[in-house]
Structure 1
Amino acid sequence: MSATQRSGLGNGRLLLSLLLLAAWEAGSGQVHYSVPEEAKHGTFVGRIAQDLGLELTDLVPRLFRVASKGRGDLLEVNLQNGILFVNSRIDREELCGRSTECSIHLEVIVDRPLQVFHVEVEVKDINDNPPVFSLREQKLMISESKQPDSRFPLEGASDADVGENALLTYRLSKNEYFSLELPINSKPTKKLSLTLKKSLDREKIPEFNLLLTAADGGKPELTGTVQLFIRVLDVNDNDPEFEQSEYRVRLMENSAKETLVIQLNATDEDEGVNGEVTYSLMSIKPNGKPLFTLDENKGEVKVNGTLDYEENKFYEIEVQATDKGNPPMAGHCTVWVEILDANDNAPEITVTSLSLPVREDTQPSTVIALISVSDRDSGDNGQVICFLTPNVPFKIVSTFKNYYSLVLDGTLDRESVSVYRLVVTARDGGSPSLSATASVSVEVADVNDNAPAFAQPEYTVFVKENNPPGCHIFTVSARDADAQENALVSYSLVERRVGERALSSYVSVHAESGKVYALQPLDHEELELLQFQVSARDAGVPPLGSNVTLQVFVLDENDNAPALLPLGTGRGPSAVSQVVLRSVDPGHVVAKVRAVDADSGYNAWLSYELQPTAGGARSPFRVGLYTGEISTTRALDEADAPRQRLLVLVKDHGEPALTATATVLLSLEDSGQAPKASSRALSGAAGAETALVDVNVYLIIAICAVSSLFVLTLLLYTALRCWAPPSEGACGPVKPRLVCSSAVGSWSYSQERRQRVCSGEGPPKTDLMAFSPSLPPGLDREVGEERQEAGSHHSGLVSSTDPSPLLEVYVNCF
């Protein structure tokens, strides 16, 4: 193995040791690594996952990622082995310029839970830049009168590297007249100069061409050269001289144009034109020629552009004073201009969103976003504090210098506030201070935490019977305070049995619109009240729901004609046959027509009319308008036909009215025929009366049972409704139906009732009402007689002493 190879191997081991040592160093809460600049792609930097305490198997599930502000993709992490490696070319000079310290700051972010780590990778300088002279050749004019040991300043070289790689040494090509005086490291202001070793003789050597070589301290070293062209001048042997060889000036950045930097003055001991001095700028480092001007006659250095502390903090101005002798002589000085910082840069804010939108059930202390701030100023002018809009459920927590986390500091409710407009303010410590703001929009994501709600707990619906199949009877609507699918409500029936049939055979509900349809014609006589529930469910996961009760009252229609009851010894319910003695007194009841109507209310209220006989003869009989009793209007005589055929029209009060016709056959007999006929008549009348009493008893028992059940149900319902706490919009008076009496009065039961009395005026009332109208003269007496007879047959329902003209009562209970 050659010495060069052994040296390279030793350097490699040393570099690896330095890298391993830097990878384990920690300070200020950071992991430190180092890497040489210009390292090849894939160069190992450090085991970042292991050093941060992360498991390799967690890198992908926890979304391991590396962010580097403004550094592109110089470094990358292998998610399989957790190794940080070089991904692209790293140029330390491009990153950090002349700064002796150069680092790449990385943010390592993992989720579940969210963690942020700060990693600093130091970029080590390598000797990749040779020394460079600003000019390709330097021209010097030296009078032959110059004495040995005279010094002539030279423009030195510059090296973009730092440290040992930027320490320059100079070599001059071999000659017997000139030597180099090198700058001393402890005095950076000491300039490179050319020293005259012995006197010049223009006649012997008028010109010198020397090669100046600059070498840096790198291994291997790099060099740069410049050609020195020296012309030997004659006669003028005094140089202009400045009061000082170096001047130091402090200047505020952003100084106005034409601001005086310094007034230079150089003197020449020669006389005449050899003592007249003009000034010129030789160089301004770094790259500062456009920023300063020099008056060639007065020696005034002024500002010519905009000075920026953040770009350059120091300028080195080389000034030459030249006399007008022949040949001219020159003197030199250096002006060091230090730029002072002013608070002219506002802070900059960068917000990185990580977890947006935020679910409304997110727990406090959850990190929502990362915030970084920076200020290009220095000192107090670059010290930044950060704060957040007040009165919001968020806060800012400092995680590292100039790094903050936006953290949830309270509970969220999307239904109250769906979007938060946060303003992050950063303020520096300058005087006056500068500030910057950044807006952060935090959207709150919905969670299914609200069930659909109906405006009322129950609804009352009135539907006329015999409705067409599929007709729309009501629409239910529930509102869900959530959003999107969590607020998408669907409706369904709460299935139950209605008698022997399922509820779904009667009604259905549209799942999207909430419209309730009657699937078949409803029959009041079969079903007076249909009570069921409709369920509303949202589309959330898990779904939430609520129910509403619908009470559908089926309103009666006049769809049933009166039905005649079979009485007497007739040939059927529509024909009654009876024997009447001619000797009966006027007003004697000879027969009675009985009929019932399956409808209710006015539709079941029946009246009786005697149809005119053929030929227009006035019949000696009449029929009670509401009793159906046929009685004589006068005494019977021989002129009356022995057989009387009466047609009785039974009519309800519906719209339109429905009718039935009963035929009554009366046989008029003299009193001499009374024994046999009377016996037969009395027997028939007794049988008819017995049958009528039996029918009335059954009717009364049925009515009393149904009425008792209804009253009990109504009382129980009223008690439950009154004990239940009232809810807004769930109760209120329902307008009762106005029930009008007829000419003689009637019992009637309204098909509407109050659902709940919310005003506190008393318990709910049923609207079973009795009417006692005023009757016209004549009809009052007739109705009174009818009432007395009706009272004898229905003593269990109505007292005969009751002054109200009550007739037979048909109660329909819902």
Structure 2
Amino acid sequence: RRRPPIPSCEKSRPAFPWLDLVLAQIRYSIPEELEHGAFVGNIAEDLGLDVAKLSARRFRIVSGAKKQYLEVNLENGILFVNEKIDREELCERSPSCFLHLQVVIENPLELYRVEVEILDVNDNSPSFPWSEFNLDITESAAPGSRFPLESAQDQDVGTNSLRSYQLSANQHFVLNIQTRNDGSKFAELVLDTPLDREQQKKHEMVLTAYDGGSPERSGTALITITVLDANDNVPVFDRSVYRASLVENAPRGTLVLKLNATDLDEGSNGEVTYAFSGHAPLKVRELFSVDPYTGEIRVKGVVDYEKASVYELYVQAKDRGPSAVAVHSKVLVDILDVNDNAPEVILTSVSTPVQEDAPPGTVIAVISVMDRDSGENGNVDCQIPSNVPFQLHSSFKNYYTLVTSEFLDREAVSEYNITLTARDLGSPSLSTKKTILVQNNAPGASICSVTAFDPDSNQNAYLSYSILEGQIQGMPVSTYVSINSDNGNIYALRSFDYEQLRNFQIQVQAQDAGFPPLSSNVTVNVFGAATTEPLYCTQCGVYTWGGVHY
């Protein structure tokens, strides 16, 4: 599915008249698991670009993803799936999932933002951590007693995620479904009528979990309940909800907090042990541990603020009596961000070499920066050395353009190594350096293009271009310039020095493929502009500001 283009920001007037970037944004939505070649959208049409010029303007897309999931056919401008996308692998259980792309085209330089929303499909069934659950319940348990059941997990999101549970028909229990803060659901077994161990020692029933997809998917687990004589007091937590703060990357073994529950019984019936309850997700069990005897919760894995800013730990306390009943509490752990990510610098476009008479404001590179930290830790400032003839401008948030600040002199300096430093505002600050090589007027640069027209058709209208023999300062013209016979692009074969060669002429011939062949010649005058004043072309009626005029 394709949505109409949405501008991401207004086009702002550049600091220099030569800096003219087009900035816009479009969004597409596609389901996951599409095969290679699946249609996403006609990105050239949606951006209003000429398909025939995509290759010539070096149309390309830049993605921060590790895989090249999407690609563009430069012949028709269609954005298509290059590699099958697994939404669960890409975004885990995030409610929204986007691929962020940047489109870069040149001549002139234009930037576009593209967001591709990956929609979930119902390709996962709910599943329980075990196929059978065993519960011990005392016969003295009162009607209304609740017993948490292990939660089912479904990797899908939205309507395709876990939606409900159902319990098979039985005489004593009903099901109560609860919803967590994050919207996920878990089930509790509720005693409806009293148990009698002397009449029946065991009860079996089937718990089924359903998702909300179409078609609906489900998973089952067998619940086996053993009725025991028991213990008439249960442990009691001193708090119904615990809360603690923890800095990210805290060392393994760091104490988060200590649980405390008491039991009025004596002996083993009053000895309390602690553990995670069945509500605790697997990820929580990987990151934290609970000491069964002291109730201390400690860091077990690597806690990363960029992955989660808060964790809910569901814990239980249970005495060591023969018919112990577990009681439950919740622990909220707030994760505090630290500056543990250095800025990332991406060169999205580099235009080098550059002519020595390029006017101030010529765009050399487009740079994007990002920092995965939050707050001040994620705010980034970019700088370049002050002793180079270049300036860094912020075009919009996290994007910069490197431009010339004065005319360059190849004879004085033929190339520059510009070190870009991106530094965040965290404490202590982290930084990243990137070096950009800028070369002046290197051989092989395109200097101009000629175009001829032939009103004939077929091969009689097919044109080829060539440079006629001649001399420049006593040397063959072929040692100075060359031409592409198919498109008329003229290239420099050496660096031009304005102080030694201020202007020269070349003869270009266009010849058709008819029989007999017909041809026409044109004189190309090349002037070196060493002034900031505009030059006027009498043949084409166009002013050219600086640079080389043809």
Scaled by the length of structure 1, what TM-score is found? Answer: 0.51
- Of residues 105, 112, 116, the one that matches 2:107 is 112
C-alpha distance in 1, partners of 2:116/2:182? 32
| Structure with higher helix content | 1
2:206 is matched with which residue? Answer: 211
1:172 aligned partner, one-letter code: L
1:103 is matched with which residue? Answer: 98
Q: 1:152: how far off?
A: 0.4
1:359 is matched with which residue? Answer: 355
> Secondary structure of 1:62's partner?
coil
> Secondary structure of 1:317's partner?
strand
2:403 aligned partner, one-letter code: V
> Secondary structure of 2:160's partner?
helix
C-alpha distance in 2, partners of 1:400/1:93? 32
C-alpha distance in 2, partners of 1:172/1:269? 34
Q: 1:368: how far off?
A: 2.2
* Residue 323 (1) aligns with residue 304 (2): no
1:83/1:271 CA distance change after superposition, 3 Å: same
Q: 1:142: how far off?
A: 0.5
1:118/1:255 CA distance change after superposition, 3 Å: same
1:275/1:79 CA distance change after superposition, 3 Å: same
2:421 is matched with which residue? Answer: 425
Q: 1:424: how far off?
A: 0.9
> Secondary structure of 1:145's partner?
coil
C-alpha distance in 2, partners of 1:406/1:134? 55
Q: 1:174: how far off?
A: 1.6
1:60 aligned partner, one-letter code: S
C-alpha distance in 1, partners of 2:174/2:426? 52
2:203 aligned partner, one-letter code: F
1:357 aligned partner, one-letter code: P
1:413 is matched with which residue? Answer: 409
C-alpha distance in 2, partners of 1:34/1:159? 22
Aligned residues: 442
**The structure with more radius of gyration:** 1
In structure 2, stretches of 5+ residues that fail to align are: 10-23, 445-471, 476-492, 502-550
Instruction: Note the alpha carbon deviations across 1:600-642, whole angstroms, 9 max, x for none.
Output: xxxxxxxxxxxxxxxxxxxxxxxxxxxxxxxxxxxxxxxxxxx
1:373 aligned partner, one-letter code: V
Q: Tell me, yes or no, if the aligned pair for 1:76 and 1:87 is still in contact at 8 Å.
A: yes
> Secondary structure of 2:89's partner?
helix
1:405/1:187 CA distance change after superposition, 3 Å: closer
2:540 is matched with which residue? Answer: none
Q: 1:169: how far off?
A: 0.5
C-alpha distance in 2, partners of 1:238/1:384? 58
Q: Tell me, yes or no, if the aligned pair for 1:32 and 1:122 is still in contact at 8 Å.
A: yes
* Residue 161 (1) aligns with residue 162 (2): no
Equivalent positions of 1:654-665 (< 5 A) are none
> Secondary structure of 2:178's partner?
coil
Q: 1:346: how far off?
A: 1.7
1:52 is matched with which residue? Answer: 47
Q: 1:193: how far off?
A: 0.7
2:254 is matched with which residue? Answer: 259
Q: Tell me, yes or no, if the aligned pair for 2:162 and 2:209 is still in contact at 8 Å.
A: no
Q: Tell me, yes or no, if the aligned pair for 1:71 and 1:104 is still in contact at 8 Å.
A: no
Q: 1:198: how far off?
A: 0.8
Equivalent positions of 1:388-537 (< 5 A) are 388-446=384-442
C-alpha distance in 1, partners of 2:302/2:86? 29
Instruction: Note the alpha carbon deviations across 1:659-681, whole angstroms, 9 max, x for none.
Output: xxxxxxxxxxxxxxxxxxxxxxx
In structure 1, stretches of 5+ residues that fail to align are: 1-18, 449-488, 493-537, 547-814
- Of residues 215, 222, 228, the one that matches 1:227 is 222
1:373 is matched with which residue? Answer: 369
* Residue 335 (1) aligns with residue 331 (2): yes
1:34 is matched with which residue? Answer: 29
- Of residues 62, 83, 90, the one that matches 1:88 is 83
- Of residues 216, 237, 242, the one that matches 2:237 is 242
- Of residues 340, 348, 356, the one that matches 2:344 is 348
Q: Tell me, yes or no, if the aligned pair for 1:212 and 1:225 is still in contact at 8 Å.
A: yes
1:26/1:212 CA distance change after superposition, 3 Å: farther
2:283 is matched with which residue? Answer: 287
Q: 1:40: how far off?
A: 3.1
> Secondary structure of 2:52's partner?
helix
Q: Tell me, yes or no, if the aligned pair for 1:263 and 1:299 is still in contact at 8 Å.
A: yes
Q: Tell me, yes or no, if the aligned pair for 2:310 and 2:335 is still in contact at 8 Å.
A: yes
1:486 is matched with which residue? Answer: none
1:151 aligned partner, one-letter code: R
| Structure with higher strand content | 2
> Secondary structure of 1:24's partner?
coil
Q: 1:191: how far off?
A: 4.9
C-alpha distance in 2, partners of 1:317/1:364? 60
1:318 aligned partner, one-letter code: Y
> Secondary structure of 1:273's partner?
helix
Q: 1:299: how far off?
A: 1.2
- Of residues 168, 174, 179, the one that matches 1:179 is 174
Q: Tell me, yes or no, if the aligned pair for 1:395 and 1:409 is still in contact at 8 Å.
A: yes
1:285/1:390 CA distance change after superposition, 3 Å: farther
C-alpha distance in 2, partners of 1:196/1:434? 57
1:128/1:27 CA distance change after superposition, 3 Å: farther
- Of residues 147, 153, 157, the one that matches 1:152 is 147
Scaled by the length of structure 2, what TM-score is found? Answer: 0.74
Q: 1:146: how far off?
A: 0.6
> Secondary structure of 2:377's partner?
helix
1:286/1:385 CA distance change after superposition, 3 Å: farther
Q: CA RMSD in A?
A: 2.9
Q: Tell me, yes or no, if the aligned pair for 1:418 and 1:443 is still in contact at 8 Å.
A: yes
C-alpha distance in 2, partners of 1:421/1:539? 22
Q: 1:68: how far off?
A: 1.4
C-alpha distance in 1, partners of 2:401/2:302? 37
C-alpha distance in 2, partners of 1:93/1:264? 34
> Secondary structure of 2:427's partner?
coil
> Secondary structure of 1:397's partner?
strand
Q: Tell me, yes or no, if the aligned pair for 1:23 and 1:34 is still in contact at 8 Å.
A: no
Identity, % of aligned positions? 49
Q: Tell me, yes or no, if the aligned pair for 1:136 and 1:226 is still in contact at 8 Å.
A: yes
Instruction: Note the alpha carbon deviations across 1:50-71, whole angstroms, 9 max, x for none.
Output: 2212112211221222221225
> Secondary structure of 1:49's partner?
helix
**Relative contact order: is structure 1 or structure 2 higher (C-alpha 8 Å, sep ≥ 6)?**
2
Instruction: Note the alpha carbon deviations across 1:574-625, whole angstroms, 9 max, x for none.
Output: xxxxxxxxxxxxxxxxxxxxxxxxxxxxxxxxxxxxxxxxxxxxxxxxxxxx
Q: Tell me, yes or no, if the aligned pair for 1:386 and 1:424 is still in contact at 8 Å.
A: yes
C-alpha distance in 1, partners of 2:376/2:306? 14
Q: 1:541: how far off?
A: 6.8
C-alpha distance in 1, partners of 2:318/2:253? 24
C-alpha distance in 2, partners of 1:139/1:72? 44
Q: 1:151: how far off?
A: 0.4
> Secondary structure of 2:268's partner?
helix
Q: 1:491: how far off?
A: 8.2
Q: Which shifted more, 313-322 or 32-41?
A: 313-322
Instruction: Note the alpha carbon deviations across 1:123-162, whole angstroms, 9 max, x for none.
Output: 1222222223233332211111111111001121222222
> Secondary structure of 1:209's partner?
strand
- Of residues 273, 276, 281, the one that matches 1:278 is 273
Q: Tell me, yes or no, if the aligned pair for 1:143 and 1:327 is still in contact at 8 Å.
A: yes
Q: Tell me, yes or no, if the aligned pair for 1:360 and 1:447 is still in contact at 8 Å.
A: no
1:334/1:175 CA distance change after superposition, 3 Å: same
> Secondary structure of 1:381's partner?
helix
Equivalent positions of 1:775-794 (< 5 A) are none
- Of residues 264, 269, 284, the one that matches 1:269 is 264
1:544/1:328 CA distance change after superposition, 3 Å: closer
1:186/1:104 CA distance change after superposition, 3 Å: closer
* Residue 139 (1) aligns with residue 134 (2): yes
2:315 aligned partner, one-letter code: V
* Residue 130 (1) aligns with residue 125 (2): yes
1:234/1:125 CA distance change after superposition, 3 Å: same
2:4 aligned partner, one-letter code: A
Equivalent positions of 1:409-808 (< 5 A) are 409-446=405-442
